[in-house]
A = this chain, B = another copy of it.
């Protein structure tokens, strides 16, 4: 078994979109996921990309992905990574691909002098929580994310 971690390429987009939809189904919200291949291609490979993806391949098949964007902390004064989606296809689980992708993102942080690698996890997702505990990740207790979208966003704008 030959495992490679590399940046995503345009010909990976179809696999990445499939992974995103499989992950939304696992997260019990398949109807909330509307991502298209055209959207992800523009986001990753357009004129000014603000989202990035790494893939793990097993014997040249795309087996896992990490999709992320750049944050900024006013407390540390430097950037960081928000991992938006981490997914390993079912046939390739329990082989260390998720850890390998996270390690790659951790190296990206250190190489660039960035301070934090963050992600959000569903409170009921015990397998994920158990895995993240092995990385000594810390929940940011006491903070809750608030969101405005749809009609509330339009109302706020006026």
Binding site for B on A (CB under 8 A): 20, 23-24, 29, 32-36, 39-40, 43, 50-51, 67, 69-80, 82, 84-85, 102-103, 106-107, 109-110, 115-124, 132, 135-149, 151-158
Contacts and interface: CB of A to CB of B under 8 A. Distances in A.
Contacts of A76: 34-35
Contacts of A40: 74, 77
Pick from A122, A123, A138, A158 the residue with the most CB of B within 10 Å. Answer: A138
B153 A110 contact: yes
Interface of A is mostly: mixed
A46 B35 CA distance: 32
Contact of A74 (B84, B122, B132): B84
Nearest to A104: B157
Contacts of A147: 116-118, 137-140
Determine how many copies of this chain the complex contains.
2
A107 to B, nearest CB: 5
Nearest to A40: B77
B77 A35 contact: yes
Contacts of A139: 144-147
A123 B144 contact: yes
A74 B157 CA distance: 24
A148 B135 contact: yes
